[in-house]
A and B are shown apart, each in its own frame.
Chain A
Amino acid sequence: MKKRVLSALFCSVIGVSMIAGSAVTALAEGVELDVVTTFAGEDSNAKNYQEGIAAYEENSGNTVNDNSATSDETFKTTVVSDFEMDAEPDVLFFFTGADANSFIEAGKVISIEDIRAEYPDYASNMDDAKLPVSLVDGKAYAVPTNGYWEAMFVNTRVLEAAGVEIPGDDYTWEQFLADGAKIKEAGYTPVAAALGNIPHYWWEYSIFNNQTDLAVHTDIEAAAADPSAWIAGMEDVKEMYEAGMFPENTLSATDDETFQLFTQDKAAFLLDGSWKVGGIAGACQSDPEDPSTLDTEELDKYDVTVVPSKGNARKATDLIGGFSMGYYITAKAWEDPEKREAAVDFVNQMTSDDMIVKFAQHSANPLKEAPEADTSGMNGLQEKAIAFGARVTSYTGAAQDNFQGECRVPTFDGMPSIVTGEVSAEDAVAEGFEIYAEITAE
């Protein structure tokens, strides 16, 4: 008898819990979206992104499983191997250059064109001419949020001490070398750069400066057929090295060390990206994490300006820049009837006009009609960067985004050997293109 009562009780408990369980399931609305982005860690938009997710979840009733991580080589590898193992997220914010080739070739992300066939409003606020296109098929897959530019930051205190003017929009290569000599004579380092560690920026501009047609700058096949601009570019960096434009220890220093020369009033110029605005401001804060500790007087010594031109096709105000990252919707989410709309809504909301203005800050934005940027919370250097942006005449993508992995080695990691004359610029460039041909033939 006792056993019967107990078993009846047990059955009813199970029955009640099953009913309760199904009620909970029925109550839960919306879908779960797996999202991976680079808005994490010290990314200046990490907070904006989290606020965006919270707003999306509230508006849609959907849940976002956010697996964002800091953008580095490990992150890239994880994303690529997730696609290989069919473990990709539903929405991904990722690079649009050669890094994305493998999963685009495998048909694992959906093009904007295909999405618009079903959702005509998808990314309709974007200027289509600014959408980055894939190297695989020339189609646009990713919806960008904010752009970047690479330009020359100046330490005006050093320039003043050396009697050199802040470069204007018609700054030439000859003026730059002459200013460099003047700065050196005054006891300062003209250019803060670690050629043995991060030669990327000078690599890019030195080639860009020697192009006779800016439109072919990112075309690696064209460069392989006629490498003269690349060779001349490497020779220019060598000329700068021989003229003593770089720090004494440029071949053995790290980027952090040479950046310190710039912030400690020992170097005049720093060629870097729009993301460095935050790094420079951070160097002027007593607590790098707390913007309220910013020493505004110290920050005032910096400005941002053009990169000298060699008088070929490029003007000093033509910059390397554009949109190199964006939101992808994966085929996995697209083919899932429950997730398709949620993914489209998510990207639309994260790339709305308001969100783009918030994310773009002082860098370029991809909108058709960009609203006026709100500069109220910005620091002095961000304001200067916005004013500088208005002087820019064109943005061209970086050739290095299409020239990745092994093929970069002879001219990137091999830059010290080129500038010291151990390897000729011609041989180094040829070796890089040989590897590129091998890889593309596979």
Chain B
Amino acid sequence: MGANIYKNKKPLVFFLLPAFLFMIIYLYYPFFRNILNSFMKIRQLGTAAKGFNEPWFSNYVKMVTDKNMHTALLNTLIMMLVTLMFQVGTAIVLAVLVDNIGRGSRFFRTVYFFPIVISATALGLLFNLIFLYDKGMINQLLEKLGADGLTDWKAKGIALVTMMFPVVWQYVGFYFVILITGLNNIPEDLYEVASIDGATRWQRVRFITLPLLRNVICTCAVLGVTGALKVFDLPWVMFPKGMPLNSTWLTGTYMYYQTMEAKDVDYGSAIAVAIVVLGIITSKVVNKVFKEADY
């Protein structure tokens, strides 16, 4: 009798059903509806579609020729690379350094993790003040150091760097915590044996820490690259409407702009579909490149 309780799986279905229905209503239905919308004429949010576009795939043709979409795709790819190199890279360096100091490691863990808990919108406003043209923190500092004139940190040539710096800075702590957890799982004995054999500190990192951290680094890389596709709030707060001169578009900000500002809802839907396709392709490629090793 008692064993039958565990064999009967029907109650499990009952408990899974609410979540399943929730996902159907709020994720899968809107997703498929969005694909359909990308073929239709919708001129304002909240209004019904006025039939299909002519030809029905015209939004996808437009996307191929749209210069801003090209900029958005290119910037998103740059964002992925920057994420890999600087977010994950900086996190590895910091994690190894903190792991090697005896005292104060807890303090540094908190310090590096802290930006994660601040909302991206608040950070965007904060960095707006830091990079402000007139009396911004950096320009004031440069003025004190004797610089002539003010620097426009949001001007076309430098805007992308100004945008990516806070995004990278914000998420370093996230990967740092994941890597620190990975470092804690490496047995202390290995380091002791290596020390007895005369290995230097760098050699211990190079031949013990990094190889044993490989799988964790791979996970961070996958999370970082796929996360770069979704970056939206901080860039939008700092550089709304792809300012300046359409040079800072990302796929997420461009989709939002087309839907909410330009009111081209069907084109916004088509961009959303492109983002999903790009996300699937990227995660497949990244999973292949950063394949976890079996030990």
Contacts and interface: CB of A to CB of B under 8 A. Distances in A.
B288 interface: no
A352 to B, nearest CB: 33
Contacts of A442: 41, 43, 50
Contacts of A82: 46
Contacts of A293: none
A417 B242 CA distance: 12
26 contacts: A80-B45, A81-B46, A81-B47, A82-B46, A84-B47, A102-B44, A102-B47, A197-B241, A247-B133, A248-B150, A251-B155, A252-B133, A252-B154, A252-B155, A252-B243, A254-B240, A264-B134, A405-B44, A405-B262, A405-B264, A406-B263, A413-B241, A417-B246, A422-B245, A439-B43, A442-B41
Interface hub of A82, A102, A260, A406 (most chain B Cβ within 10 A): A406
B152 A249 contact: yes
Interface in B125-162: 128, 132-134, 150, 152, 154-156, 159
A205 B130 CA distance: 34
Interface string A319-360: 000000000000000000000000000000000000000000
Contact of B262 (A77, A80, A413): A413
B182 interface: no
A375 interface: no
B134 A81 contact: no
Contacts of B262: 405-406, 409, 413
Given A102-B44, A196-B241, A257 B134 contact: yes
B111 to A, nearest CB: 31
A420 interface: yes
B46 A77 contact: yes
A226 interface: no
Interface string A253-267: 110010011001010
A404 interface: yes
B243 A251 contact: yes
Given A73-B260, A417-B245, A252 B44 contact: no
Interface in B239-260: 240-241, 243-246, 260
Interface of A: 73, 77-78, 80-82, 84, 102, 196-197, 247-249, 251-254, 257, 260-261, 264, 266, 404-406, 409, 413, 416-417, 420, 422, 439, 442
Interface hub of B132, B133, B134, B262 (most chain A Cβ within 10 A): B134
B13 interface: no
Question: Main secondary structure on chain B at its contact with chain A?
Answer: loop
B134 A261 contact: yes
B263 A405 contact: yes
In this complex, the interface size class of chain B, counting residues with CB under 8 Å from chain A, is: 20 to 34
A251 B245 contact: yes
Interface of B: 41, 43-48, 50, 128, 132-134, 150, 152, 154-156, 159, 240-241, 243-246, 260-264
Contacts of B41: 442
A80 B47 contact: yes
Contacts of A260: 134
Interface hub of A78, A261, A439 (most chain B Cβ within 10 A): A439
A199 to B, nearest CB: 11
Nearest to B248: A252
A252 B152 contact: yes
A385 B46 CA distance: 38
A404 to B, nearest CB: 7
Given A197-B243, A251-B244, A442-B50, 15 more contacts: A77-B46, A80-B44, A81-B47, A84-B47, A84-B48, A248-B133, A248-B152, A252-B155, A252-B159, A405-B43, A405-B264, A413-B241, A417-B246, A442-B41, A442-B43
B240 A406 contact: no
A80 B42 CA distance: 13
A423 to B, nearest CB: 10
A291 B159 CA distance: 39
Given A249-B152, A406-B264, A416 B45 contact: no
A254 B275 CA distance: 28
Contacts of B132: 257
Contacts of B244: 196, 251-252, 416
B45 A77 contact: yes
Nearest to B239: A252
A225 to B, nearest CB: 22
Contacts of A266: 134
A148 to B, nearest CB: 22
A102 B50 CA distance: 12
Contact of A404 (B45, B243, B263): B263
B234 to A, nearest CB: 15
B44 A249 contact: no
Contacts of B152: 248-249, 252
Nearest to B133: A249
A442 B54 CA distance: 11
A82 B46 CA distance: 8
B243 A196 contact: yes
Given A248-B152, A406-B262, A413-B262, A197 B43 contact: no
Nearest to A250: B244
Given A248-B133, A416-B244, A78 B44 contact: no
A77 B43 contact: no
